[in-house]
């Protein structure tokens, strides 16, 4: 039986991955600080260790206690839009935390290192974005993700630790963190409807994304881990169908049975206007996967959200420097946090 470490395994995508690994008979150890995850999302057959990857001592203790065949690294700070205002948090979580894991993986002879990267590495590139493009991150989050990819490539070349990196984008589905006011548009929109708040859309809502249903792509982690010929590369992993943010809002309203729920257009913020990828490399290596239609994936997610009920907003993020980028939207979030009402 293979034993794997899943960092961030109590979070959204990580818990889906832990569930998938357990279902095929693997032993799973989850390391999560529960800053965004929920312990009850960790499968019963997996073991949860509560701790942060930024604590080198904690990471070392985990590797002393278990011999891992592989690492699936999904723990991250992922609020892209404010990453430049929380640089210490961003780089500690996304870079220093990863280095702590890499050091222990090298020391203990782990077979492979699987990394959850992001479309944010590309920045405002030509679309569809391809792995052969030169990445030019538009924010600190994307910069950190790209730096980790490059460090993993150096580590494999110089020290022999195989890796693969999956550049995911706009993943949604059941078990998303609806408490987080900064990220995950589908979860934010669902919770805003249940809290009787207007759906918040930045600018005209014409931003183009490829919203990706989580169960479509979580299996690519396993396929990449099981195929050594796929190691040493990065892969775009996401839906091939695009939609605007405004179209997403309308889809969420319909799924919740409230097609006339108000939409509030906030001032435009600095963000990549069009971001979607060509995932043909991943589909070639791992086999094609079915892209769940947005209307169907949102319907399933909405049904789950209704069962949970409205979530009380919560965040541990504190801005380290003044947010100079379209601060109106940050003030809007702060107002929401200050006026939290009943929820879960």
Omega before 128 within 30 of 0, i.e. cis: yes
Q: Quick one: tokens of 61?
A: 């203790």
What is the pLDDT, as a whole number, of residue 246?
Answer: 98
Q: What is the tally of structural domains in the chain?
A: 2
Q: Is there a single domain that holds both residue 113 and residue 259? A: no
Q: Give the separation between CA 204 and CA 271, rounded to whole angstroms.
A: 13
Q: Is there a single domain that holds both residue 58 and residue 121? A: yes
Q: Quick one: tokens of 316?
A: 């541990």
Q: Is residue 151 within 8 Å of 165, Cβ to Cβ?
A: no
Q: Is there a single domain that holds both residue 156 and residue 104? A: yes
Q: Give the separation between CA 159 and CA 258, rounded to whole angstroms.
A: 55
Q: Quick one: tokens of 103?
A: 């050091």
Q: Is there a single domain that holds both residue 248 and residue 325? A: yes
Would 284 be classed as within a structural domain? no
Q: Is residue 148 within 8 Å of 98, Cβ to Cβ?
A: yes
What is the pLDDT, as a whole number, of residue 329?
Answer: 63
Query: Please, which residues bridge with residue 3 across strands?
Result: 27
What is the pLDDT, as a whole number, of residue 337?
Answer: 75
Q: Is there a single domain that holds both residue 54 and residue 199? A: no
What is the pLDDT, as a whole number, of residue 30?
Answer: 98
Kindly report the pTM of this predicted structure.
0.94
Residues of the chain scoring pLDDT < 50 = 341-344
Helix H, strand E, coil C: the string for 75-130 is CCCCCHHHHHHCHHHHHHHHHHHHHHHHHHHHHCCCCEEEEEEEHHHCCCCCCCEC
Q: Is there a single domain that holds both residue 85 and residue 203? A: no
- Output the CA–CA distances (angstroms, integers) from residue 271 to 83, 142, 275, 288, 325, in the order listed: 12, 12, 10, 30, 10
- Looking from the CA of 213 toward its CB, the CA atoms found within 13 Å total 17
**By C-alpha distance, which of 276, 336, 275, 324 is closest to 87?**
324
Look up the CATH number of the domain holding residue 126: 3.40.50.720
Q: Give the separation between CA 33 and CA 95, rounded to whole angstroms.
A: 16
Residue 108 sits at φ, ψ, to 5 deg, of: -105, 10
Q: Give the structural domain span for 258.
A: 174-210+240-274+293-338
Q: Is there a single domain that holds both residue 120 and residue 245? A: no
Q: Is there a single domain that holds both residue 298 and residue 331? A: yes
- The percent helix, strand, coil of the chain (3-state, each to 5) is 40, 15, 40
Residue 92 sits at φ, ψ, to 5 deg, of: -65, -50
Q: Is residue 148 within 8 Å of 267, Cβ to Cβ?
A: no
Three-state DSSP state, 236: strand
Tokens 């479309």, residue?
119
Residues in CB range of 67: below 8 A, 6 or more apart = 3, 108
DSSP string covering 239-305: -S--EEHHHHHHHHHHHTT-TT--EEEEPP-S--SEE-B--HHHHHHH-------HHHHHHHHHHHH
Q: Is there a single domain that holds both residue 197 and residue 230? A: no
Q: Quick one: tokens of 191?
A: 């919770």
């Amino acid at each position: 039986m293979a034993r794997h470490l899943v960092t961030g395994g109590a979070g959204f995508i990580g818990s889906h991955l832990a569930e998938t690994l357990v279902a095929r008979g693997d032993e799973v150890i989850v390391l999560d600080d529960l800053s965004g995850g929920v312990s009850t999302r960790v499968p019963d057959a997996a073991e949860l260790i509560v701790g942060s990857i930024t604590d080198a001592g904690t990471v070392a203790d985990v590797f002393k206690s278990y011999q891992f065949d592989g690492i699936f690294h999904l723990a991250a700070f992922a609020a892209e839009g404010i990453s430049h205002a929380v640089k210490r948090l961003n780089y500690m979580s996304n870079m220093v935390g990863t280095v702590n894991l890499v050091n222990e993986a090298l020391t203990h002879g782990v077979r492979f290192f699987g990394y959850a990267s992001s479309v944010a590495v590309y920045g405002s590139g030509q679309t569809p974005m391809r792995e052969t493009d030169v990445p030019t991150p538009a924010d600190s989050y994307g910069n950190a993700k790209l730096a980790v990819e490059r460090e993993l490539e150096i580590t494999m070349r110089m020290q022999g630790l195989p890796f693969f990196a999956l550049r995911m984008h706009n993943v949604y589905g059941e078990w998303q963190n609806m408490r987080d006011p900064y990220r995950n548009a589908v979860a934010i929109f669902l919770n805003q409807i249940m809290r009787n708040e207007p759906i918040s859309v930045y600018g005209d809502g014409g931003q183009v994304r490829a919203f990706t249903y989580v169960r479509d792509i979580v299996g690519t982690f396993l396929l990449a881990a099981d195929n050594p010929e796929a190691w040493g590369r990065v892969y775009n992993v996401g839906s091939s169908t695009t939609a605007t943010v405004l179209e997403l809002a309308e889809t969420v309203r319909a799924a919740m049975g409230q097609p006339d729920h108000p939409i509030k257009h906030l001032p435009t913020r600095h963000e990549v206007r069009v971001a979607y990828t060509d995932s043909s490399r991943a589909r070639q290596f791992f086999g094609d996967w079915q892209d769940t239609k947005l209307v169907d994936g949102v319907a399933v997610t909405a049904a789950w959200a209704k069962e949970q009920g409205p979530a009380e907003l919560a965040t541990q993020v504190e801005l380290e420097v003044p947010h100079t980028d379209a601060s109106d939207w940050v003030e809007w979030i702060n107002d929401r946090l200050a006026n939290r009402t009943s929820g879960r």
